[in-house]
Structure 1
Amino acid sequence: MYAPRIQELLAREEKVFRIDATTVGVSECDLVAEIVAARPVLATERSVYKPAAGADIQHDSATRTIRALGQDVLAGIRNPPPPARGLSGAWPYAATSYLRQWLFSSDPLPVSLLSKRGVTRSPALSRVVDRAVTVWPGSGAEGGTALAELIRAASGDLDKKQAVAMYRRATATLCDGVAALAGNALWLMGPARKPAEAPADLTAALWETLRLLPPAWMLFRTDGKAYTGLHPEIRPEDKVALFPLLMHRHPDYWADPLEFRPERWAGVADPEKTPAFMPYGFEGARCWAKHLIVPLAERLLTVAFDNGLVIRSPQQEAEVPLRSLLSVRFDAGIGA
């Protein structure tokens, strides 16, 4: 059950269309490529690397964050996962909390609070915790994450505030994105498999989920001046919304586009080179953690299947609300 505005988009047949007085939607593969190539992505158009503490995030800082996050994920998934009962409850929220506990709970207080969902949901608590970490990031306790070490190593008030912001954004973006992907896959695989039975090719199932229910389903370009010569519908004052969700479902690009068919990825060495398939965004703004997403989602689902996680909600329908990440909402339980 898609939110009404998403359902309206899915019902459109045209590939270039006006959403409102100042926004144009695009799902035409070649035009998307031209728009992406027309100019570099702006700092304000990025989710993680948008300005923080009143200043742009420098390239060196962004690179350090990517490397640290990769180290933390690789180290985390080598550790035994938390008790699987943590996956019971409302998805994708249960999966988000589970991933944060698995990957980032080793950090000392108050840094570990930065990735707690109960904190991140409250702007007031977030400000208090951010301030506490800036003043006292905790000692260099053994087993802490590389992301936390970037906070401790930051010099100066601005650098420390930005390191705190990057920790929060990186952990949230990774865990929320993986939880959304894993939840979407769990729902799509549900009717076709026996309870607690993992598919033969879980990786292919995740790629097919990225096609049919991509968490990163829309990307904005906020300044249309560079695109006015590419299509008559786009004016200089327009914002442009690029829709992988629509492109991934169009019959011009895909056979049986609305069917969940993981076998379509069998033998595909590099799925990202598949025409009209952009699961991690577009050149210049591609997801900085894309190399971590599918392996971590596969690990999470393996834990879920090994411990008998099943969907409790009715199998026929589930809610897909209007959010920045496209994710199916349902209840699941261990051995339910």
Structure 2
Amino acid sequence: MASAPVRGHSVVYAPRIQDLLARGEKVFRIDATTVGVSDCHLIAEIVAERPVSAMERSVYKPAAGADIPHDSATRTIRALGQDVMEGIRTPPPPTRGLSGSWPYAPTSYLRRWLFSSDPLPVSLLSKRGVTRSDTLSRIVDRAVTVWPGSDTEGGTALAEQIRDASGTQERRQAIALYRRATATLCDGVAALAGNALWLMGQEREQEAARADLTAVLWETLRLLPPAWMLFRKGGDAYTGLHPEIRPEDRVALFPLLMHRHPDYWPDPLEFRPERWAGVADPEKTPAFMPFGFEGARCWAKHLVVPLAERLLTVAFDNRLVIRSPQQEAPVPLRSLLSVRFDAEAGA
């Protein structure tokens, strides 16, 4: 199920991903304590068997020594949506920021576009140079806990949640949610936009694809979904669903494999955005789960495609071109599936 060359471009997966793509079975053992599943019916049964646990979530897993309350999670979703919609309506930063190594360049670009209006030190929470260092992250977190900014300084709705926190514990959780929300959104959108840009190929193919970027992004989510694997811990809840699953097992659910299986998709390895023409609600398509599974769906899924489409439109309007010397791009083993390549924006 590895991808054939797509419109002049192809990808080279990390060896462990290549091993997964080479498997023909839909339920298989990865190691002594992990079972992989790409069968859409079994996945549905696994997802329905029990609610997702707090530790299986990404953004809303426990923070500052306590679970994230439901109302805090809801406020964060609404605040992030407000900030993204405001960002989409505002002029983007200079597009020279999109030049360089993808997906790192667009990740930093999106953080600057959406969250640079926040006052110091809150704005540092979304800086990639800070988030990559545990030491710097701890220093900034402490600084924001002591000084989250004043009501007169403006900024994003996410930053306002930090300022409005009623105590130290609530503020620490608001800081954690700010950091996780901005990172998850920007990293995910950058990965999706980069994957789409690579799959669209050279400039002449890109021009043709621009007619329906939404369809391009849905097809990218099928063929190269950034959220390519999700874990369920504790196989005891699932032992009755399949004989391969034991009580001590973790269960890995693979949209990446399910999305390219010939049982579910015609010409599954072909990049064909036209397959989404006339599809009113792509997420209701059988064997298609681009934003995760019930109970653990991406909390910002309604923001991802519009923001990625806006980012690609800005890139194309400013004549962004792929400058990688090779036609094969690496896809390393990371939590987000993303193609690596170099690009350059026009003057």
Q: How does 1:144-163 map to 2 (within 5 A)?
A: 144-163=155-174
Q: Distance in 1 between matches of 2:345 and 2:78?
A: 34
Residue 192 (structure 1) shift: 7.2
1:31 alignment partner, SS class: helix
Name the residue aligned to 1:278: 289
Q: How many residue pairs were aligned? A: 336
Q: Distance in 1 between matches of 2:150 and 2:191?
A: 33
Per the normalisation by structure 1, the TM-score is 0.98
Name the residue aligned to 2:330: 319
Q: Distance in 1 between matches of 2:154 and 2:288?
A: 38
Residue 197 (structure 1) shift: 6.5
Select which of 235, 238, 245 maps to 1:234.
245
Select between 197-206 and 72-81 the one with higher mean Cα deviation.
197-206
Select which of 249, 252, 256 maps to 1:245.
256
Q: Distance in 2 between matches of 1:282 and 1:35?
A: 10
- The Cα offsets for residues 10-34 of structure 1, whole Å up to 9 and x where unpaired, read as 0000000000000000000100000
Q: Distance in 1 between matches of 2:135 and 2:108?
A: 20
Q: Distance in 1 between matches of 2:208 and 2:307?
A: 18
1:202 alignment partner, SS class: helix
Q: Distance in 1 between matches of 2:23 and 2:255?
A: 14
Q: Distance in 1 between matches of 2:162 and 2:223?
A: 38
Select which of 49, 56, 69 maps to 2:67.
56
Residue 6 (structure 1) shift: 0.4
Q: Distance in 2 between matches of 1:335 and 1:102?
A: 19
Residue 199 (structure 1) shift: 1.9
Name the residue aligned to 1:310: 321
Select which of 157, 164, 176 maps to 2:175.
164
Q: Distance in 2 between matches of 1:141 and 1:121?
A: 30
Q: Distance in 2 between matches of 1:302 and 1:148?
A: 28
- AA at the equivalent of 1:118: G
- AA at the equivalent of 1:149: E
- AA at the equivalent of 2:187: D
Q: Distance in 2 between matches of 1:173 and 1:125?
A: 19
Asked if structure 1 preserves the Cα contact closer than 8 Å seen for 2:117 and 2:123, the reply is yes
Q: Equivalent pairs: percent with the same residue? A: 85
Q: How does 1:256-267 map to 2 (within 5 A)?
A: 256-267=267-278
- The Cα offsets for residues 136-169 of structure 1, whole Å up to 9 and x where unpaired, read as 0112245400000000000111101000000000
CA change 1:85–1:296 in 2 (3 A) is: same
Name the residue aligned to 1:333: 344
Q: Distance in 2 between matches of 1:244 and 1:90?
A: 26
Asked if structure 2 preserves the Cα contact closer than 8 Å seen for 1:91 and 1:329, the reply is yes
CA change 1:73–1:42 in 2 (3 A) is: same
Residue ranges of structure 2 left out of the alignment (5+ in a row): 1-11
Asked if structure 1 preserves the Cα contact closer than 8 Å seen for 2:119 and 2:153, the reply is no
Q: How does 1:1-336 map to 2 (within 5 A)?
A: 1-191=12-202, 193-194=204-205, 199-335=210-346
Asked if structure 2 preserves the Cα contact closer than 8 Å seen for 1:27 and 1:244, the reply is yes
Residue 185 (structure 1) shift: 0.1
Residue ranges of structure 1 left out of the alignment (5+ in a row): none
Root-mean-square deviation (CA, aligned residues, Å) is 1.2
Asked if structure 1 preserves the Cα contact closer than 8 Å seen for 2:200 and 2:206, the reply is no
Asked if structure 2 preserves the Cα contact closer than 8 Å seen for 1:211 and 1:277, the reply is yes
Q: Distance in 1 between matches of 2:320 and 2:83?
A: 26
Q: Distance in 2 between matches of 1:165 and 1:106?
A: 19
Asked if structure 2 preserves the Cα contact closer than 8 Å seen for 1:109 and 1:138, the reply is yes
